[in-house]
């Protein structure tokens, strides 16, 4: 991983320092977020290392230990003496107060995990960002949200479908989540913006001052004005390759439903799908021409049992099921070991006691006793000589 974030932050502060008087820059009583911004500016920190640093101590304490040339715990997180030395140099060069003032001056909001302003949907995530940088209205990250993702090298068909889905979902009051990349991402957000309805949400893989790709600058500005831009990187952070898989997990975590509009079989969107499945998100795919490699990933998903997305109505139907069908709590008494053997032998097709006995290897007395207990607890129903398992 290139180690240029700290130097970029230092350069940004040097150009900014001339516009800020000494009295404008607070020297003490900085909020915890200010020290988080500083830690996030360390070279090659990334989400995992940042979380590991915060597991050691609070951000200000960690920063103080870096100023004191580090220690064994910090060296373990860094993974190399060279990187730890780079962190310590960065801590000596960075003016934390000025860096904090720089973010405020550029209207870059900062929220930390565990604080009231942090998006609730990310608070309980399996990998919540320790810090989020945002531009726009962070409160829009509520209500139904659908991620529209896909290849940068999309076809005209894919671009048109992404635009239409973004527009129609936004009109229906659904926030469109994407990554503001070229191709499918940009088309989806362009459609959402045309609807002038639900605010869009974009998650990017660089500092919010480093527009990437440059061709999407006007789209970045429009999303920030109408919705919110989110990222884990401080000002000055370049759009390095390793940042995008981390960004994809946030896109998946924010979404109630993930729709792959067009993707190659080994495309980056498949990483977003993997992150979505880890979080039990509903995944859909837009059917595409079987001869188009740009639809290879979508065809793979459909072949594996993924839900097809033909238009926004399919997504809204899936979204309704995802959001409004509350899971029923199973209040039945859990089966004991023998009762579970009977259920496993029974499966989901009716069977008589003799069949269950043969499949389970239990005695008829054990089967009969277990069936009676399972019936009383509501696990099975009995009709004549047939036993049938009851779903939750």
Residues 159 and 279 in one domain: yes
Q: What is the pLDDT of residue 222?
A: 97
Residue 95 confidence (pLDDT): 93
CATH number for the domain that contains residue 345 = 1.10.10.10
Low-confidence ranges of the chain (pLDDT < 50): 1-3, 14, 16-23, 324-329
Shared domain for 348 and 201, answered yes or no, is: no
Domain assignment present for 121: no
- Whether residues 381 and 273 fall in one domain: no
pLDDT at residue number 187: 97
Q: What is the CATH number of the domain that holds 145?
A: 3.40.50.450
- C-alpha–C-alpha distance, residues 305 and 378, integer Å: 31
| 237 part of a folded domain | yes
Kindly report each contact of residues 105-108 with a partner whose C-beta sits within 8 Å and lies 24 or more positions away, as own/partner.
Answer: 105/16, 105/19, 105/20, 106/208, 106/209, 106/235, 107/135, 108/133, 108/134, 108/135, 108/208, 108/209, 108/235
Contact predicate 149/263, CB 8 Å: yes
pLDDT given at position 328: 45
The Cα angle at residue 56 between residues 51 and 59, in degrees rounded to 5: 70
- Quick one: CA torsion of 371, 377, 378, 384, rounded to 10 degrees? 30
CA distance 308 to 318: 10
**Tokens matching residue 1:** 């991983």
Are residues 301 and 177 both part of a single domain?
yes
Total number of domains constituting the chain: 3
H helix intervals, 209-311: 217-226, 243-254, 269-278, 296-303
329 in any annotated domain: no
Asked if 80 and 18 sit in the same domain, the reply is yes
Nearest to 261 by CA among 166, 195, 343: 166
Judgement on whether residues 101 and 176 belong to the same structural domain of the protein: no
Q: Is residue 116 part of a domain?
A: no
What is the rounded CA–CA span in Å between residue 306 and residue 282? 9
* 118-155 pLDDT per residue, tens: 999 999 899 999 999 999 999 888 889 999 999 999 99
- Note the pTM of the prediction, 2 decimals: 0.76
User: Rounded CA gap, 226 and 184, in Å?
Assistant: 19
350 and 382 together in one domain: yes
Q: Are residues 86 and 142 in the same domain?
A: no
User: What is the reported pLDDT for 392?
Assistant: 54
Tell me the C-alpha distance between 26 and 20, whole Å.
Answer: 11
β-pair type (228-231, 257-262): unpaired
Domain of 349 in residue numbering reads as: 337-389
> Are residues 371 and 348 located together in one domain of the fold?
yes
Of 324, 352, 369, the last residue of a domain is 324
29: left (phi over 0), alpha (psi -120 to 50) or beta: left
> Parallel, antiparallel, or unpaired for β 282-285 and 228-231?
unpaired
d(CA 126, CA 369) in angstroms, rounded, equals: 42
- Do 318 and 342 fall within a single domain? no
* DSSP codes of every residue in 11-53: HHHHHHHTTS-GGGS--S---HHHHHHHHHTSTT-HHHHHHHH
- 71 and 147 in a common domain: no
Domain boundary among 85, 105, 125: 105
Domain co-membership, 253 together with 342 = no
pLDDT at 3: 45
Burial level of 17, CB count in 10 A (0-12/13-18/19+)?
middle
């Amino acid at each position: 991983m290139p180690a240029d974030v700290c130097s970029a932050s230092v350069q940004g502060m040097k150009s900014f320092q001339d516009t800020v008087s000494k009295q404008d820059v607070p020297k003490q009583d900085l909020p915890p977020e200010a020290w988080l911004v500083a830690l996030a500016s360390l070279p090659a920190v990334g989400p995992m290392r940042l979380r590991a640093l915060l597991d050691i101590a609070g951000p200000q304490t960690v920063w103080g230990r870096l100023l004191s040339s580090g220690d064994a715990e910090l060296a373990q997180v860094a993974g190399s003496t060279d990187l730890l030395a780079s962190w310590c140099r960065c801590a000596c060069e960075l003016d934390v107060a000025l860096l904090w003032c720089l973010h405020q001056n550029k209207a870059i909001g900062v929220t930390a995990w565990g604080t009231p302003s942090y998006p609730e949907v990310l608070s309980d995530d399996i990998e919540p960002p320790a810090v989020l940088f945002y531009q726009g209205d962070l409160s829009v990250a509520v209500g139904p949200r659908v991620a529209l993702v896909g290849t940068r090298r999309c076809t005209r068909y894919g671009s048109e479908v992404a635009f239409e889905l973004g527009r129609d979902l936004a009109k229906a009051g659904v926030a469109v989540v994407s990554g503001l990349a070229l191709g499918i991402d940009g088309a989806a957000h362009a459609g959402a913006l045309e609807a002038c309805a639900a605010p869009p949400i974009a998650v990017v893989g660089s500092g919010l001052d480093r527009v990437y790709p440059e061709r999407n600058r006007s789209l970045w500005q429009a999303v920030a004005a109408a919705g919110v831009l989110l990222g884990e990187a401080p000002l000055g952070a370049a759009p390095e390759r390793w940042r995008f898989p981390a960004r994809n997990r946030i896109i998946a975590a924010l979404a109630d439903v993930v729709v792959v509009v067009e993707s190659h079989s080994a495309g980056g969107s498949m990483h977003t799908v993997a992150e979505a499945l880890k979080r039990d998100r509903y995944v859909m795919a837009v059917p595409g021409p079987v001869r188009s490699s740009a639809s290879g990933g979508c065809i793979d998903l459909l072949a594996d049992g993924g839900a097809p997305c033909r238009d926004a109505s399919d997504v809204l139907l899936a979204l309704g099921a995802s959001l409004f069908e509350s899971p029923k709590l199973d209040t039945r008494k859990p089966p004991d070991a023998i009762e579970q053997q009977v259920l496993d032998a029974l499966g989901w097709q009716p069977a008589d006691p003799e069949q269950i006995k043969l499949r389970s290897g239990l005695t008829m007395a054990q089967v009969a006793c277990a069936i009676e207990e399972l019936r009383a607890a509501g696990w099975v129903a009995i009709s004549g000589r047939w036993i049938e398992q009851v779903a939750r």
